[in-house]
Amino acid sequence: HVKHNQQLAEGSPLAIELGNIVLSALERNPLFISAALPNRIYPPMFNRYHEGMHFGSHVDGSIRLLPGTGDKIRTDLSATLFLAQPESYDGGELLIEDTYGTHTVKLAAGDMILYPASSLHRVNPVTRGARLACFFWVQSMVRDDGQRTMLFDLDGAIQGITASNTNEASRVKLAGVYHNLLRMCSQI
């Protein structure tokens, strides 16, 4: 009852072709891999909001059925990839609520936000132009958001030490801690 937008038919040849482009780019994106620690990704979907369209407050469903497989995916993370430049439309901001308040997101075309699927969120009404986006869900190898955040921060610190090339012994030790923590936290 809260959804008022247009959506490319799931499983259509165009949706599959575009989704494969998105998935291919994600596979090569170390920041996405580090932040999401993806185990499975729901096939990307595509939507359009034109003037007057919006999506009311909701929490994404916790389990999705993978089309045509009978397999289920737990939705740990939600992702929105913006496909229209923000100046091409007014309104259409993604609002995400968490314990720290409401965060407004309207990114450049090609930029993506990844956030806990358990977050209450909505899309403000578009008042001019059209908002185009790709969205999907990730089942992470690490179910707990707090654990994923710590692993992401640790990975960033390791990358910083690697880039500075200052202390190889510390880098090796931290990398070992990272992988052992990932092993402990992993759900696979």
Question: Residue 26: which of 97, 81, 76, 69 has the closest Cα?
Answer: 81
pLDDT digits (tens, 9 = 90+) for 118-153: 999 999 999 999 999 999 999 999 999 999 999 999
Which of 2, 87, 16, 1 is CA-nearest to residue 46?
16
Percent above pLDDT 90 for the chain = 93
Task: Using alpha carbons, select from 122, 113, 135 the residue that is nearest to residue 54.
Answer: 122
Q: Tell me what pLDDT residue 115 has.
A: 97
CATH number among 2.40.50.140, 1.10.1740.10, 2.60.120.620, 3.40.50.300, domain 3-140: 2.60.120.620
For 145-185, which CATH superfamily applies?
Rabenosyn, Rab binding domain (4.10.860.20)
> In 3D, which of 74, 57, 174, 183 has the Cα closest to residue 123?
57
How far apart (Å, rounded) are the C-alpha atoms in residues 130 and 145? 32
Measured CA to CA, the distance from residue 124 to residue 45 in angstroms comes to 19
State the Cα torsion 64-66-72-76 to the nearest 10°: -50
Domain boundaries, the chain: 3-140, 145-185
Give the closest residue to 9 by CA, choosing from 147, 182, 17: 17
Q: What pLDDT is stored for residue 167 in this prediction?
A: 83
Question: What's the pTM value of the predicted model, to 2 decimals?
Answer: 0.93
Low-confidence ranges of the chain (pLDDT < 70): none
Tell me, what's the pLDDT at 188?
84
Cβ neighbours of residue 141 closer than 8 Å, sequence gap 6 or more: 37, 38, 39, 182, 185, 186, 187, 188
Q: How far apart are CA 130 and CA 136, in angstroms?
A: 20
User: For position 180, what pLDDT does the model report?
Assistant: 96
Share of the chain above pLDDT 70, in %: 100
So what's the pLDDT on residue 166? 82
